Structure 1
């Protein structure tokens, strides 16, 4: 019995290693990053909706809302995938000065783009007008941007200093799970 269990365990570990190598290879990295972003954006909205149900802010769980948040995760995942490639090409290296430059430009350029992409994606999915999307960005984006300045600079120092590019979206989305809950709250809160 122990031998069979050990063989199964080795097969599973070997399978995971093969999967990991393929998933994080340049050929499949965009797909992997998008899957990670979709999954964790969905989980973030699911958790927020569970809290809203518990606190009686909503009466019923909305699968459509979670689906829309997942699709916003997809668009944000694509944007971040290409952003990380771009910034690593333009500002190569991992010394402290370089990392701080990357963090600065990440906050000044990428954050506003990602926040706008989030609201535009959801606006299109919800079939709201261009004027309504712009109004929502003006009313709510600053809250997300302020939260970004609290969460992301320390997180991105770790991301840019220690991690190779291929793991940035995975790390980003892991840190972002709590932020995704907040993003869902800002988007759907009254």
Structure 2
């Protein structure tokens, strides 16, 4: 009986936390927190793999923190982007969902990728030339990956997910994409062959 009462209290506490976290008052903080946390988890998973295959000698904490900060900027972008899309297109018809997907892929995805690289360049103290070169070398790879993952994921997001859970859903799907983003961002250029 006592154990059942403890579980009931825990469930009530979690429900109150959930209601507060996804309320309009705290939703921005929740979305940013989720984005930061999962960006860091994604990078940690990628670094674990890199250490496993011998590409990385040890976990680079600064890299993980930087990826988390990029999650902050991207979480901010996603939070307001989804609100803006819902404001412009409040319905959930198939036509509206397709319009949202296209706008998301053609406007937000390139912007998101640019914000990511700009954030990382600032954190890494890269020059403008280094930033431009990195975007040239890596942005198209990430954008192509966006087209393979996000149209279907966003179809579900815009059709079925309640607006306050959109960034949470997005970040859940994005965990795999965050691993890939970390891999692309920190991929080493092959050494030029010398003869």
Q: CA deviation at 1:130?
A: 1.6
The aligned counterpart of 1:113 is 111
Tell me the TM-score normalised to structure 2 length.
0.95
Pairing partner for 1:40 from 22, 26, 38: 38
The number of residues matched between the two structures is 188
For 1:44-66, what per-residue CA distance to the aligned partner results, in whole angstroms no more than 9, with x for missing partners? 00000000000111111100000
Question: Which 5+ residue runs of structure 2 have no aligned equivalent?
Answer: 189-195
Of the structure 1 ranges 70-79 and 131-140, higher mean CA displacement relative to structure 2 is found in 131-140
CA distance, structure 2, for counterparts of residue 78 and residue 92 of structure 1: 21
The aligned counterpart of 1:22 is 20
Question: Which 5+ residue runs of structure 1 have no aligned equivalent?
Answer: none
Task: Find out whether 1:61 has 2:59 as its counterpart.
Answer: yes
Q: CA deviation at 1:19?
A: 0.3
Task: Find out whether 1:155 has 2:153 as its counterpart.
Answer: yes
Q: CA deviation at 1:182?
A: 0.2
CA distance, structure 1, for counterparts of residue 89 and residue 106 of structure 2: 15
Query: Which consecutive segments of 4 or more residues in structure 1 shift more than 3 A?
Result: none
| Residue aligned with 1:128, SS | coil
Cα RMSD (Å): 0.6
